[in-house]
A and B are shown apart, each in its own frame.
Chain A
Amino acid sequence: MTAMVKAEGVHKSFGAVQVLKGIDLEVAPREVFCLIGPSGSGKSTFLRCINHLEKINSGRLYVDGELVGYRQKGDKLYELRDREVAEKRRDIGMVFQRFNLFPHMTAVENVMEAPVQVKHESKAVARERALKLLDRVGLSDKAGSYPSQLSGGQQQRVAIARALAMEPKLMLFDEPTSALDPELVGDVLDVMRGLAEDGMTMVVVTHEMGFAREVGDSVVFMDDGVVVESGHPREVLTNPRHERTKSFLSKVL
């Protein structure tokens, strides 16, 4: 079985600052894969590399067996054209910390936008599916609302529905609950839990240790651009072997 995401020695630097210093990991299909670690550890950057929002400097990154951002012919790498990169991103949903909903469109228009514009679905079909997705995230009554009329938790759920509308095989979550008021976190996590139960492959950067322990199939603790420790959530979170993991967990738990 090919891994959904496979990283081999992934390096990334911004100017002189090395953010990722050789990441090796594998995400199996249907797995819920949680990335934890202090801020600045590179976990969000790594997530953004998976759908090529950031270019990696060395190493190899594969999604579903295909190289991200490049095509290999013989021993030469060719950069993909923008159009080809866009095509591959269709299959990867992404949810951002700050939602990034399109403010000039209503909730249902946000969800319809990509299917209509990218997949050229008819508006009627796209709207019907968008309404179903909004129902699935518990917002069927907010279809006509603009993002500014929704709470943070509702916006994030619309954002999840928007990503699901493209029927992705992989979902990336970049600290999806970090910008939310504490009482709104639960609704978003419930939606994500439902997705996990349906067998969606998910890579989740999170500070919600409860979610990682309960829903996660594996957890990776990153610090300073390297993977410090990985394994089953119960082991990593309750029985950390490394000092850095221990000290991080003692601060957040």
Chain B
Amino acid sequence: MTVEIDKAGPKDAPPPAPENIKAIPVRHYGRWVTAVVIIGVLASIVYAFSQGDVNWGAIPDYFFDDRILKGAGMTVWITIASMVLGVVLGILLAVMRLSKNPVSAAIAWGYIWFFRGTPVYVQLLVWFNLGLIFHYINLGPIYQDEWSDFMTPFLAALLGLGLNEAAYMAEICRAGLLAVDEGQTEAAHALGMSHAKTLRRIVLPQAMRVIVPPTGNEFINMLKTTSLLAVVQYGELLRGAQDIAQDSGSTTEMLFLAALWYLILTSVLSVGQYYLERYYARGSSRHLPMTPLQRIRANLFSFSNRSAGGVGTS
């Protein structure tokens, strides 16, 4: 049975749009209370600091001091150097651990066990103090020197941080290699590609998508860990700030200054990480997410549309 509905109004008119619901929204009083409490706590912390005996002026005065700039440069340099060592050695260890050769797999396992199981601070001290048990380094015709000339603060820092990092990078790389579908290796082998070529051309590029995000974290962690390097007499950022503190007497202020510099450096790294992840995501998703710049541009465009009277739907 069908029922004819008598349509009101003229036949050609479009059907009236359904009326929007108008209702009193639920009031979330709890949210208001939480917000007020949090803002109150924050305000009191800010107030406390403003009442402290802080010489705020010292921070901008010394912000671009030579010792700070040099320290920041040294920090960036040792961060990059030890990360490069860590990544290269880490990939090697990951491949060794996955290899069919039981000896290399066991050695990789032992390396990771040792370097991940001891604190990096202790490792740095050990490298620096090896001079107490070795007085002379003799690599035959390649290199011979007094140990104290050989083990410079830079080398101690590089070995201490880089070898420790390799243990973590090995696990990150291993996870990345295991994440690539086995069908990829089979397809490459079926085409006649060798093991090495399959790894380099097919497996590693895909593993990078899994490897890059945690490696970015490692990079940022490494940058902060360099603040331990004072212990091997390496002149990095924190040490520069502390040198100034001793001269000027504004100890806390210089720590604030160092913290600000660390924040700036880690922020720069985060941006780099974002673009690197984007690069390795190619092919894995149909549409790459917009870069922040593109997003700003798109927003500006839609904003000008809206102001021109267009109806924003998205």
Residues of A bordering B, CB below 8 Å: 51, 53, 82-83, 86-90, 92-94, 96, 98, 100-106, 113-114, 117-118, 146-149, 159, 162-163, 166
Contacts and interface: CB of A to CB of B under 8 A. Distances in A.
A91 to B, nearest CB: 8
Contact of A148 (B181, B192, B285): B285
20 contacts: A53-B190, A82-B195, A83-B194, A86-B189, A86-B192, A90-B192, A92-B190, A96-B183, A96-B186, A100-B183, A100-B184, A100-B187, A102-B187, A102-B206, A104-B280, A104-B282, A117-B193, A118-B197, A146-B282, A162-B191
Contact of A53 (B181, B186, B193, B280): B186
Given A100-B187, A113-B201, 18 more contacts: A83-B194, A86-B193, A86-B194, A88-B192, A89-B189, A96-B183, A100-B181, A102-B184, A103-B206, A103-B283, A103-B284, A104-B206, A104-B282, A105-B283, A113-B191, A148-B283, A149-B286, A159-B187
* Residue from B181, B183, B283 having most chain A Cβ neighbours under 10 A: B283
A250 B280 CA distance: 49
B214 interface: no
Q: Is the interface of A mostly helix, strand, loop or mixed?
A: mixed
A90 B272 CA distance: 40
Nearest to A165: B191
Contacts of B181: 100
B190 A117 contact: no
B71 to A, nearest CB: 40
B243 to A, nearest CB: 48
A149 to B, nearest CB: 6
* Residue from A92, A96, A114 having most chain B Cβ neighbours under 10 A: A114
Q: Is the interface of B mostly helix, strand, loop or mixed?
A: helix
B278 to A, nearest CB: 13
Nearest to B285: A148
Contacts of A100: 181, 183-184, 186-187
Interface in B197-241: 197, 201-202, 205-206
Contact of A89 (B192, B197, B201, B283): B192
A159 to B, nearest CB: 8
A10 B242 CA distance: 75
A118 B192 contact: yes
Given A104-B205, A104-B284, A96 B187 contact: yes
Contacts of B190: 51, 53, 89, 92-94, 163
A99 to B, nearest CB: 8
B193 A102 contact: no
B192 A87 contact: yes
Nearest to B200: A117
B276 to A, nearest CB: 14
A75 B191 CA distance: 31
A104 B283 contact: yes
A86 B192 CA distance: 4
Contacts of A51: 190
Contacts of A147: 283
Contacts of A103: 206, 283-284
Contacts of A94: 187, 190
Given A104-B284, A105-B283, A146-B283, A114 B206 contact: no
B202 A102 contact: yes
Nearest to A98: B183
A105 B286 CA distance: 13
Nearest to A89: B192
> 4 tightest CB-CB pairs across the interface, nearest first?
A90-B192, A100-B187, A114-B191, A94-B190
A88 to B, nearest CB: 8
A208 B205 CA distance: 36
Contacts of A82: 194-195
A163 B286 CA distance: 25
Contact of B192 (A102, A104, A114, A146): A114
A114 B188 CA distance: 8
B284 A148 contact: yes
Contact of A163 (B191, B280, B285): B191
A166 to B, nearest CB: 6
